[in-house]
Amino acid sequence: MGAQFFKFKKFTIHHDLCAMKAGTDAVLLGSWCTVCSHSRILDIGTGSGIIALMLAQREENSIITAIDNDINAIKQAFINVNNSIFKENIEVQEADFRTFAQETENESYDSIVSNPPYFEEEAFSPDKSRNAARHTSSLPFAELIHGSATLLKHQGTFSLIVPCTAARTVIVLAAAEGLYLSRRTDVSDSIKKTPVRSLLEFRKTNSPTAQSLLYIHNNGGTYSDEFKELTKDFYLNF
């Protein structure tokens, strides 16, 4: 997604203003996470607004709050949302999540989703906005999970995508906040490669975890049937 905009089936994402461009991680999470009809959804670190728009397409009766603490990301998300047919369903709001969580009523959301910053040791960029979008120092996992546990309804779901190497840490932190892993999908580029991303879903009720593995590509380099099935409502070529 190196171009300044990317067309999906029902909306277009411009990401020329964003520190981080729209990418496969966001599409995976927006396609995979659980959302229900007539639900209230919170998208933490919305960036270009891609996940918020995907969820609005999936559940047109839902109300989505999309927050980010970067002004350029907010400008970008506002443009993308207001140019879409889903603009009545999405509120774009500049906010630091820690402050937002403190000022918002407990158990307000049916679904919370986040494609969070997750780099820890990688060299920092001179671009402060890019650093905030990429590095956990801008929103540590512990603070993301604590705030989400507070805002999530009892029957709600909290979903995020992280590196596989960070999954265990996230699962332990979540359990300490009363959030239990209900679903996990590890994502690999192909069957010959080690998984690099984990899609994680948490609930406040403790039950057996549904686990799966997703390959994006077949051995020949074509997209796998599973990936196409997951994302077919969004990508133009599926």
pLDDT in tens, the chain (238 residues): 456 889 999 999 998 888 777 899 999 999 999 999 999 999 999 999 999 999 999 999 999 999 999 999 999 999 999 999 999 999 999 999 999 999 999 999 999 999 998 755 554 445 444 444 444 457 999 999 999 999 999 999 999 999 999 999 999 999 999 999 999 999 999 999 999 999 999 999 999 999 999 999 999 899 999 999 999 999 999 9
Share of the chain above pLDDT 90, in %: 84
Tens of pLDDT, residues 202-212: 999 999 999 99
CA 81, CA 43: separation in Å to the nearest integer? 13
Find, among 43, 28, 183, 184, the residue nearest to 113 by Cα: 43
At 34 the pLDDT is: 97
pLDDT in tens, 207-228: 999 999 999 999 989 999 999 9
Global pTM reads 0.91
Q: Which residues, at least 6 apart from 114, have a Cβ–Cβ distance to it below 8 Å?
A: 43, 44, 45, 144, 148, 159, 160
Domains of the chain: residue spans and CATH:
10-231 (3.40.50.150)
* Strand pairing class (63-68; 90-94): parallel
